[in-house]
Structure 1
Amino acid sequence: MMIKQKAFNVNGIGYIIRSASPKDAKYLSKVRVQIDGETQNMDREPGEAFLDTKEFINLIERDTENNHYLFLVALVNDTLVGFSRCEGNPLKRLAHKVEFGVCVLKQYWGLRIGTNLLEESIAWAESNEIKKMTLNVLETNEKAIKLYQKYGFEIEGILKKDKLLSDGRFYNTIVMGRLGGFN
């Protein structure tokens, strides 16, 4: 699914959020690896589950053609600095919900890019009659947990000792969900 491009300006830094296009694939591949190396909040180590340009093109095309998928990118001066996805499910019993994920380069944290990607995703979900958004967040990512709660996500469960980080310790994953308009 596609959304209309929007411009933002935070602390004098302008950026746009728009639907991903195949021309973004090369940069998405590089940015995803970089983000994985900048934070332990992601599921992957740098280079794990690597997606090359062709794989990103296929993902973008599928997401664009399907009403229950949304792939957004954030660009500062035409440079890709973050992205988010809402991934739906073709199974009828699960078609009412999407799983949300977001990544932003560390250099651009604090500019509300992740927040605006979230807001655009919520607006898309509401306008497309998506009844539930879910996400997973590392227990130590308190800032993200508070942000998600601010936008109506509730803690639905805890996956205990779910992730083994580079410090050799296990951490919990918080499962969160946001319910939309049920009639």
Structure 2
Amino acid sequence: MVINTIEFHIRNLPYIIRSAREEDAKKLSEVRLQIDGETENMDRVKGEAYIDEPGFKHIIREDTESPRNLFLVCEVEDRIAGFSRCEGKSLKRIAHKVEFGVGVLQEFWGYGIGKNLLKMSIRWADDNDIKKITLNVLETNEKAIMLYKNNGFEVEGVLKSDKLLSDGRYYDTVVMGRLHP
């Protein structure tokens, strides 16, 4: 699905959040790879499950056509600073929900980009008869967990020792969900 572009000015940084377009595919491939290498909060290490330009074009095309998917990008000047996706399924028993994922380049942390991607996704879901948004977050990502809680998400469960990080230790994944009020 495609939504209207919204402009933001946070701490002297102007940016827009808009629906992804096929011409974003090359930049998205590079940004996703960089984000995966900047933090252990993602499911992948840098280079794993790599999506190339044609792969992103395919995803963007599908998400644009699907009423249950939303692919947003945050653009700062001519750069993509972050992105989010809501992905739904057409299976009748789970067609009422979508799964949310987000990534922001580290240099753009602290400008409300993740928060605004989340808020726009919530608004889209609420406006499009989507009853539930789910997500997974690493237990150590306390800022994200607080952001999600502040936006109506609740902890629904914990996947024990779910992620092996670079320190050789296993960490829990927190499963969260938000029901449409």
TM-score of Structure 1 vs Structure 2, range by shorter chain:
over 0.9
Residue 115 (structure 2) aligns with: 115
Distance 1:109 1:28 in 2: 17
Q: AA paired with 1:75?
A: E
- Report the alpha carbon displacement of residue 90 of structure 1 after superposing the two structures with TM: 1.3
Distance 1:78 1:70 in 2: 21
Task: String of CA shifts for 1:144-177, please: whole Å, max 9, x gaps.
Answer: 0000000000000000000000110000000000
Residue 73 (structure 1) aligns with: 73
Task: String of CA shifts for 1:114-165, please: whole Å, max 9, x gaps.
Answer: 0000000000000001000000000000000000000000000000000000
Residue 60 (structure 2) aligns with: 60
Residue 178 (structure 1) aligns with: 178
TM-score by length of 1: 0.98
SS at match of 2:73: strand
Residue 16 (structure 1) aligns with: 16
Residue 140 (structure 1) aligns with: 140
Distance 2:173 2:94 in 1: 22
- Could you say what the CA RMSD is over the residues aligned between the two structures, in angstroms? 0.5
TM-score by length of 2: 0.99
Residue 154 (structure 1) aligns with: 154
How many residue pairs were aligned? 181
Structure 1 gap ranges (5+) = none
Residue 131 (structure 1) aligns with: 131
Distance 1:122 1:144 in 2: 15
Q: AA paired with 1:51?
A: I
Residue 97 (structure 1) aligns with: 97
Distance 1:81 1:55 in 2: 19
Structure 2 gap ranges (5+) = none
Identity percentage over the alignment?
62
SS at match of 2:86: strand
- Report the alpha carbon displacement of residue 2 of structure 1 after superposing the two structures with TM: 0.4
Distance 2:27 2:79 in 1: 8
